[in-house]
Amino acid sequence: MNKLRKETLLPTGQVFQLIEGDLTEERTDAIVNAANSYLDHGGGLAWAISSRGGEAIQRESDEWVRVHGLVKYAEPAWTSGGALPARYVIYAVGPVWGEGDEKNKLGAAVTGSLKAADQLKMGSIALPAISTGIFGYPMDKAAEVILETTIAYFSENDSGLKLVKLVLFDGSTLKIFEKAWNDHFRA
């Protein structure tokens, strides 16, 4: 069962939460999958989401790429949630550490995910620590970008999102993100 670790009300009215747990268990309108541009869900979080969500996730992902082409940082794809509790899965392509311009690319992936949720008229979304797994983005740097980008999105956009969850699975990641949260929100 997922556990609330931190919560704040943003000046723009959204509830922002830090959750310890399994993203695939979130009952939000959408969850974000940290994906590759081909939407090939063969490992890590993408595999967990595809496995739990069922065959529809990979089938719809393949169809997305066939129709729209490869997924870009600022322009995520989305599918149904399949058998997941979430209604949609939004696919954010994050940067591989060392490829250059990582901060802007990660920011674009987060902004694109929030924008996609707004386009889909979602009220709630859950995000992972995009790019920090096999893509190698340092956790502390990713935490800062994800927090700052999320807050900036709401201050710059009229959004229908009311609840944003940052869902982290393992203790070491959670510890790093909690430190960034505390530094940012002075909690």
* Single-letter residue type at 37: S
Per-residue pLDDT reduced to its tens digit, 128-187: 999 998 899 999 999 999 999 999 999 999 999 999 999 999 899 999 999 999 999 985
Query: Quick one: which of 171, 97, 86 has its CA closest to 130?
Result: 97
Three-state SS for 41-100 is CCCHHHHHHHHHHCHHHHHHHHHHHHHHCCCECCECEEEECCCCCCCEEEEEECCCCCCC
Q: In this predicted structure, what is the pLDDT of residue 134?
A: 87
Per-residue pLDDT reduced to its tens digit, 47-69: 899 999 999 999 999 999 999 99
Q: In this predicted structure, what is the pLDDT of residue 42?
A: 81
**Residues of the domain holding 146:** 3-185
Mean of the pLDDT values across residues 110-124?
Answer: 98
Q: In this predicted structure, what is the pLDDT of residue 43?
A: 79
* CATH code (residue 47): 3.40.220.10
Average pLDDT, the chain: 95
**Number of neighbouring beta carbons within 10 Å of residue 102:** 21
Q: In this predicted structure, what is the pLDDT of residue 81?
A: 97
What is the b/e burial string over 42-64, where b = at least 16 CB atoms within 10 angstroms of the residue's CB? eebbbebbbebbeebbbebbeeb
Q: In this predicted structure, what is the pLDDT of residue 138?
A: 97
Per-residue pLDDT reduced to its tens digit, 21-52: 999 999 999 999 999 999 998 878 888 999 99
Give the C-alpha separation, 17 to 29, whole Å: 15
Number of domains in the chain: 1
Residue 124 in 3-state DSSP? Answer: strand
How far apart, in Å, are the Cα atoms of 39 and each of 138, 153, 180? 23, 25, 30
Q: In this predicted structure, what is the pLDDT of residue 45?
A: 83
